[in-house]
């Protein structure tokens, strides 16, 4: 049994300060995308160094489970074990499920449960994520059985929180699953902000995400997002690692050349453009670059190994039976 734990303390800044992040965005964009009003004015953070939020990206420290996943050797990690544990957790707790109508329309849970053995790795892990989030939040709304005996039943159909399925995994696998799901989706708050900016629609400082590299809703940048096609099959439509590196080197050399020239106003504009080209040229994470065997290939290998083991065990059992029969027949003679 495991629950996700995050560490937010005075000396460990895991999220941005809202005031600082708003000012940082203005500096990066060279203009303000914000509209102001009561409770949403642009200001300098009044807390200074005592602020619990980060004032610069470099101050943000990864949540432990995200850092652990980031540093994990993907070439040796057993993703098939993760897949099987998630599948077992869902199959174990699915008979306790009630009140699923609340998320059925948006998550299509029913059809996924009916075809659970046909789901690919990410569809299965995302299903687990949706179920764990929904039911664990639901359990918090329902009283515990200890010292709270009651005849009332929650609208979901559960009487006590202990009756609610939690879809727990082992501690290590659970932490890894949360971190993995996160890098397969894009933070909707950040996505909407960027869309509004591209449309020249002003937003308030309350419309920005402060999570950055710790955002629980998903990634903010392409280079933080996992290429799921590569993960599953080893094939994708992304630019190759070699081509990406070649183009990145070209853009960086171009910037360096511009910076070595006289920095008049015209050249300064070219430098800004060249710098933005480097920042915006990104490629998704590809675990095969780290030596990982594509999941579908590895899963088939494991299935074949299991099947081969069954055949060999059956053969051994057959040989034992034949041996016993042969010994019996010799005794009779």
| pLDDT average, residue stretch 149-153 | 74
pLDDT of the residue at 329: 62
* Interatomic CA distance for residues 184 and 187, integer angstroms: 10
**Percent with pLDDT over 70 in the chain:** 88
> What does the DSSP assignment read for 17-73?
-HHHHHHHHHHHHTS--B---TT------TTGGG-SSBSSGGGPPPPHHHHHHHHS-
**211 in Cβ contact with 105 (< 8 Å):** no
Helix (H) or strand (E) holding 259: helix 241-260
Query: Between the CA of residue 134 and those of 131, 138, 296, 315, what are the distances in Å?
Result: 5, 6, 29, 47
3-state secondary structure of 170: coil
Closest CA to 217 of 240, 192, 251, 200: 192
Return the domain boundaries, the chain: 18-214, 239-282, 294-333
- The answer to whether residue 8 scores a pLDDT higher than 50 is no
pLDDT of the residue at 137: 93
| pLDDT average, residue stretch 152-161 | 86
- The answer to whether residue 155 scores a pLDDT higher than 60 is yes
| pLDDT average, residue stretch 154-177 | 93
* Interatomic CA distance for residues 201 and 197, integer angstroms: 6
Query: Between the CA of residue 270 and those of 52, 248, 256, 257, 267, what are the distances in Å?
Result: 38, 17, 11, 11, 5
* pLDDT tens profile 170-191: 999 999 999 999 999 999 999 9
Averaged pLDDT of the chain: 89
pLDDT band at 152 (very low <50, low <70, confident <90, very high): confident
**159 in Cβ contact with 153 (< 8 Å):** yes
* Interatomic CA distance for residues 267 and 281, integer angstroms: 21
* pLDDT tens profile 282-309: 999 999 999 999 999 999 999 998 888 8
- The answer to whether residue 169 scores a pLDDT higher than 50 is yes
Phi and psi at 128, nearest 5°, equal -60, -45
**88 in Cβ contact with 128 (< 8 Å):** no
- The answer to whether residue 162 scores a pLDDT higher than 60 is yes
DSSP for residue 94: G
Closest CA to 297 of 230, 243, 242, 245: 230
Q: How many CB atoms lie within 10 A of CB 74?
A: 17
* Interatomic CA distance for residues 300 and 287, integer angstroms: 18
- The answer to whether residue 77 scores a pLDDT higher than 50 is yes
> The whole model's pTM is what?
0.83
C-alpha radius of gyration, the chain, whole number:
27
Give the lowest-confidence range in 116-125, 218-227, 281-290, 301-310.
301-310
Place of tokens 């005996």: 149
Q: Which two tokens stand for residue 329?
A: 């027949």
- The answer to whether residue 3 scores a pLDDT higher than 90 is no
- The answer to whether residue 266 scores a pLDDT higher than 90 is no
**167 in Cβ contact with 95 (< 8 Å):** no
* Interatomic CA distance for residues 98 and 142, integer angstroms: 13
């Amino acid at each position: 049994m495991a629950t996700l734990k995050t560490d937010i303390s005075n000396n460990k800044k895991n999220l941005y300060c809202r005031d600082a992040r708003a000012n940082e965005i203005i500096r990066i964009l060279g203009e303000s995308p914000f509209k102001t009003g009561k409770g949403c004015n642009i200001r300098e953070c009044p807390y200074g160094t005592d602020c619990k939020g980060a004032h610069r990206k470099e101050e943000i420290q990864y949540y432990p489970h995200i850092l652990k996943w980031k540093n994990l050797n993907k070439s040796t990690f057993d993703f098939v074990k993760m897949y099987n544990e998630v599948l077992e957790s869902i199959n174990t707790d699915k008979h306790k499920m009630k009140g699923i109508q609340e998320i059925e329309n948006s998550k299509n849970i029913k059809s996924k449960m009916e075809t659970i053995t046909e789901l690919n790795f990410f569809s299965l892990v995302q299903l687990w994520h949706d179920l764990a989030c929904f039911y664990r939040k639901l359990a918090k709304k329902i009283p515990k059985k200890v010292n709270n005996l009651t005849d009332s039943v929650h609208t979901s159909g559960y009487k006590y929180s202990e009756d609610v399925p939690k879809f727990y995994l082992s501690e290590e696998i659970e932490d890894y699953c949360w971190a993995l799901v996160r890098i397969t989706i894009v933070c909707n708050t950040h996505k909407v902000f960027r869309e509004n900016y591209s449309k020249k629609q002003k937003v308030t400082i309350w419309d920005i995400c402060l999570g950055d590299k710790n955002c629980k809703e998903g990634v903010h940048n392409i280079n933080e997002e996992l290429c799921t096609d590569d993960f599953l099959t080893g094939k994708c439509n992304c630019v190759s690692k070699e081509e990406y590196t070649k183009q990145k080197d070209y853009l960086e050399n171009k910037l360096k050349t511009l910076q070595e020239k006289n920095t008049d106003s015209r050249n300064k504009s070219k430098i800004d453009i060249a710098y933005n080209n480097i920042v915006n040229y990104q490629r998704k994470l590809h675990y095969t670059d780290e030596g990982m065997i594509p999941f579908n290939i590895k899963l088939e290998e494991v299935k074949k190994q299991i099947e081969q083991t069954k055949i060999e065990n059956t053969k051994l059992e057959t040989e034992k039976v034949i041996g016993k029969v042969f010994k019996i027949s010799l005794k009779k003679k």
